[in-house]
Structure 1
Amino acid sequence: MGSLPLKSLPRLWPFYAWLVAFYGTWLAIVTFAGCWPTVVSHWPIALTMSVGSYVAGSTPMGGGTVAFPVLVLLFDMPGSLGRNFGLAIQSIGMVSASIYILSSGKSVDWDLLRPALIGALFGMPLGAAWVAPGISDLAVKLTFAVIWASFGIMHLVKLRELVASTGISQRWRAFDLPIGLLIGVVGGVASSITGVGIDMLIYATLVLLYRADLKLAIPTSVILMAFTSVVGIASNACLATWFPSAYAIDGEVFSNWLAAAPVVAIGAPFGALVVNLISRTPTLVIVSLLCIGQFAWTLIHEQVSGMALVGAIAGVLLFNVLFHGLYYLGRGEAPFAISSPTELATDEGEG
């Protein structure tokens, strides 16, 4: 934070106040509840989230994007634990990044974000109560793998254009309300299953349909995921309290949270700061390759075969068809119109 100009420090007081309040509360919990042994024994997840929190603050991918595969694939924990931990840790890391974003005056697309927040307020609790409990553990893992593999492929294919975009197109502004509500409801349900997803939806919409600058799209996606994470973990906690037999939350969620929370509280805003000082391209390329790699890792680790394998591959293809459609709608073209040889050559040159 030392690289910030002095004139920016006064307006960052809400961020510093948040850090003081959080670290004071966390320190009181681990000290008076005697949780220091728990924190020390769960150091691997704290180390993991030092990377995950940077990803959360510097890309449109929540910290759960790193936490989920590590917990469920490397540590062989159930998908529900990965989901709840992702929501819980993002409620600290991405909230911290959001407070930093708002305090520092970074640009946010409020016209699309407001209706998306309203949609998430309904979509996430509905998904937590009615959808997520009926999804098998393997289906949770495959849903996560498919969503982020698709996202990684989209980035690698269109990265040059995404990084080069400036400003934002006004073509679809008249439809901000229905588009935002749809993102919120659908993304809220998706996030109730895997702990992430709504951030990807609003980001993809902004950069593909609205042709938004990444400096606008990433902060917007961070704030939406932060809000959805808070709503999600609160919904799951309430359901676990009211109906413990059906919605119980594994105790390891809290143990992992205690160890990782102090790391992500500063790691996510650090990512939001650093991303403005260096090129986004290397970070996005590395994270995109990891998203694709975790898809292959999931298929191998879970020994996916038969119709489940076909469904997973079909899911990746379907998501990329949707991304393709958004991209061409953003250009004002029919999604699957046959291009002329000149247009095809132009597309290839754009990457």
Structure 2
Amino acid sequence: MSIHPRPKTHLWVWFLWLALFYATWFWLIQAEGAWEAAKDHWPIALAMAAGSYAAGSTPMGGGTVGFPVLVLFFDLPASLGRDFSFAVQSIGMVSASIFIFARRQPLAWSLLKGATVGALLGTPLGIFFLAPLFTDLWIKVAFAVIWGSFGLLHLYRIGEIAGHTGMTDFDEHWDHKVGFALGLGASALAVSVTGVGIDMVIYAALVLLCRADLKIAIPTSVVIMAFNSVYGVGLKSLSNSWQPGVYENWLAAAPVVALGAPLGVFIVELIGRKPTLLVVATLCVGQFVWTCFAEKESLGLWGIVAAMVAVIVCLGGFEKLRSWGNVLVAEAQAKADSGRDLRPEQGD
């Protein structure tokens, strides 16, 4: 994988973005009733202060907090939580991505490019054909399973994941193909249904398959989620399929996440990523337990068992990815060692 170095930063680009965004937001808030609507939805703005920090400092988008707050805490429809995830991440994750680009942070470019192409195809497929098949209950359960399994992975693998340095360099075309396949599947099956997920999948591939440093894996996951969110917003706007209430919640949360997500990118370099990941992982597991408890009557015993089995299957997928990574890393190391052994002979 090709990784860009980190030369001179251009933070003026990010400040220009902030100026343009806040000017647009102030213009929107002048509309009749807009200010009152934003004030009435202040709890989501407060929740997204923490959510946007997690979005910038972990591979978990702002929707990872916004979705359960709206759906589990405020008891709003899961389809609203999904659409809000798209909308709020189109500001928070984009702001964090511009901050990342302005600071020239290293990214896994080959995997990222492949995932972007995959998302271009998978997102409309999921939004228009797969997402309508999910009821609100199963949107909620799908979200709980995806992030519950991801949280468990970090609780028992955090030492290994946080210990990686650099990144194993595989063939660039191979990286692109893997990124494409993961981007296509994650955008169609996860993002279109829950509003989040492609960031987690690409991050998992980087840390488990490629043994990537968190300083590379997390920024890459932020950038792909930013792209997928903006693309999803465009598709939903063209089809006019937004859930009622998304815009009002967005008005309240957008000015918070525009600063909160980049702040997460910056602060996590000072305090380290491991503590933040552990806290967010615990919350991910907690929301799974909460969802199963809150929906026990709707799910029934077998529904809860199915959700737990789904978590185990997801964990099995992560472990398969890790074991595949072990093989690939060993092969890459053997190839590198073989090349070093041949150099003296070639020089004779």
Q: Please report the TM-score for the alignment, with normalisation by the length of structure 1.
A: 0.88
Within 2, Cα distance between the matches of 1:332 and 1:178? 18
Amino acid at match of 2:166: G
1:86-235 alignment runs, 5 A limit = 86-171=85-170, 173-189=172-188, 190-235=190-235
Q: Does the residue aligned with 2:327 lie in a helix, a strand or coil?
A: coil
Structure 2 partner of 1:254: 247
Where does residue 69 of structure 1 map in the other structure? 68
The Cα shift of 1:105 comes to 0.6
Runs (4 or more) in structure 1 with deviation over 6 Å come to none
Partner of 2:259: 266
Cα displacement (A) at 1:34:
4.1
Aligned residue for 2:302? 307
Instruction: Confirm or deny: 8 A CA contact 1:113 1:224 kept in the other structure.
Output: yes
Q: Secondary structure at the match of 1:332?
A: helix
Q: Does 1:329 align with 2:324?
A: yes
- Cα offset for 1:149? 0.5
- State the partner residue of 1:342: none
Q: The residue matched to 2:10 in structure 1 has which SS?
A: helix
Q: Tell me, in whole angstroms, the C-alpha distance in 2 between the residues paired with 1:37 and 1:24.
A: 19
Q: Tell me the residue number matched to 1:81.
A: 80
- Alpha-carbon distance, 1:310 to partner: 2.1
Q: How far apart in 1 are the matches of 2:25 and 2:173? A: 44
Task: Report deviation, 1:277.
Answer: 1.0
Q: CA deviation at 1:171?
A: 4.2
Matched, 1:287 2:280: yes
> What CA distance in whole angstroms lies between the structure 1 residues aligned with 2:328 and 2:198?
26
Q: Name the count of aligned residue pairs.
A: 320
Deviation at 1:251, TM superposition (A): 2.6
How far is the alpha carbon of 1:170 from its aligned partner? Answer: 2.1
Inter-partner Cα distance in structure 1 for 2:302 and 2:138? 12
Q: RMSD in angstroms over aligned alpha carbons?
A: 1.5
- Bigger Cα displacement from structure 2, 20-29 vs 297-306: 297-306
Distance 1:139 1:331 in 2: 34
Larger mean Cα displacement after TM superposition, 294-303 or 325-334: 325-334
CA distance in 2, matches of 1:26, 1:171: 44
The residue that corresponds to 1:320 in the other structure is 315
Query: Percent identity between the aligned chains?
Result: 50
**Residue 173 of structure 1, CA deviation:** 4.7
Q: Is the 8 A contact 2:80 2:244 kept in 1?
A: no
Q: Distance in 2 between matches of 1:326 and 1:186?
A: 15
Q: Partner amino acid for 1:69? A: P
2:38 corresponds in structure 1 to: 39
Unaligned runs of 5+ in 2: 1-6, 330-348
TM-score (norm 2): 0.89
Q: Secondary structure at the match of 2:120?
A: helix
Q: 1-side partners of 2:244 and 2:165: how far apart?
A: 45
Of residues 290, 297, 312 in structure 1, which corresponds to 2:290?
297
Q: Which runs of 5+ in 1 are unaligned?
A: 1-6, 241-246, 335-351
The DSSP-based 3-state class of the residue aligned with 1:207 is helix
Q: Matched residues in 2 for 1:173 and 1:117: separation?
A: 15
Worse-matched range after superposition: 323-332 or 289-298: 323-332
Query: Using the alignment, how far apart are the partners of 1:239 and 1:37 within structure 2?
Result: 28
What residue is the counterpart of 2:341 in the other structure? none
Matched letter for residue 214 of structure 2:
L
